Amino acid sequence: MHQQKKTLLTILIVNYNTSDFVNISLYALNKLTKNNYQVIVLDNNSKPSDYSSLKKIVSKYKNAYLEKNNTNLKGSVAHGSALNHLAKKVNTPYFVILDADAIWLLKDWDQILINQLNDKIKAIGTQAPINSEKYQDFPLVFAMLFETNNFQKLNINCLPPNLEKKQDVCYELREKFLEAGVWAKNIEMKNTRTYKNGPFKNLICAEYYLNCDYEHIFVSHFGRGSQGGGKIKYNQGWKKIIYNIPLLGQYILLKKCDQEKNTWIKICKEIIDKQID
């Protein structure tokens, strides 16, 4: 096991052709995390070029470890299976499930979240999108911190049980928390389509704020859209006419996604660097 002496926290990240996101996320963890931590990154059979890049990125951090999963699974099933594998490796008091394209953006984020936990609150994480079919009172695992003992007692299965019902990774979390008489707290979501007071106001992504502190962004989730190409995220309204042009439309859509991704990463780094002493 990778655990270092007195390590309090393990961060679990699944990568699938997202090494550029992992790069800025590891940078943020290195600069903004208060407690001793380790990161385990599981590559879920990315293309060779992305995996090669990921190896170089992870090697820069002594407390980050890379594993490779040669799987033929796709989508939520692949992601849920990878999380099940990673969760079994955790033996620190706390751990985090973190999407590759989600990032903690406030200094000492880990201690702030740990301080929110108590006898009844055993996890804290990102709120489900507003006006979606998801429960609004319980977090989704885009970025979520858990008390490890409680998670293990509940025997959580992160595989979505019914994809036809659009069930999410770790879908049973809410039900099992309720059955055990414990709960998880939300970090409030703001969608930049409508919320224009945050640092990512000119992009399409999610911003999250803790305890109604709208001055300091706590988390952002880029949200890559279907297959990372933004088919759902950008292909809306009148723009469908352009993006649905055969071949050319897909090319323009991918360029749009790459442009916003690079801008999002740049803004993340600026936010991080402003907090470094």
* Tokens found for residue 63: 């407390």
Pick the closest to residue 260 from 190, 206, 189, 196 (CA basis): 206
Residue 265 falls inside a structural domain? no
Please name the amino acid found at residue 167: Q
pLDDT given for residue 231 in this prediction:
54
In this predicted structure, what is the pLDDT of residue 76?
Answer: 87
- Closest CA relative to residue 41, chosen from 78, 74, 85, 73: 85
Residue 276 resides in a domain: no
By DSSP bridging, strand 219-221 and strand 102-104 are: antiparallel
Q: What's the confidence (pLDDT) of residue 258?
A: 87
Nearest to 8 by CA among 82, 86, 89, 90: 90
The reply to whether 259 falls in a domain is no
Q: What is the pLDDT of residue 226?
A: 43
pLDDT along the chain (277 residues), means of 10: 74 96 98 98 96 98 96 89 96 97 98 98 94 87 98 94 72 96 98 96 96 97 65 58 67 81 97 93
pLDDT at residue number 164: 60
Please report the pLDDT score of residue 61 as a whole number: 98
Question: Is 165 among the domain residues?
Answer: yes
Given this model, what pLDDT does residue 200 score? 98
Domain region containing 46: 9-224
Token code pair at residue 172: 């049973």
- Using the 8-state DSSP alphabet, how is residue 226 labeled? G
205 found inside a domain: yes
Q: Is residue 153 one of the residues assigned to a domain?
A: yes
What is the predicted pLDDT for the residue at 214? Answer: 97
Mean residue pLDDT of the chain comes to 90
Please give the pLDDT value at position 74. Answer: 86
Three-class secondary structure of residue 160 per DSSP:
coil
Domain with 100 in it: what CATH number? 3.90.550.10
Residue 112 lies in a domain: yes
Instruction: Give yes or no for a contact between 86 and 199, defined as CB atoms under 8 angstroms apart.
Output: no
| pLDDT of res. 123 | 98
Q: Is residue 146 part of a domain?
A: yes
Residue 21 C-beta-side C-alpha neighbours within 13 Å: 24
User: pLDDT tens across 38-89, in order?
Assistant: 999 999 999 999 999 999 999 999 999 999 999 888 888 999 999 999 999 9
Count of structural domains, the chain: 1
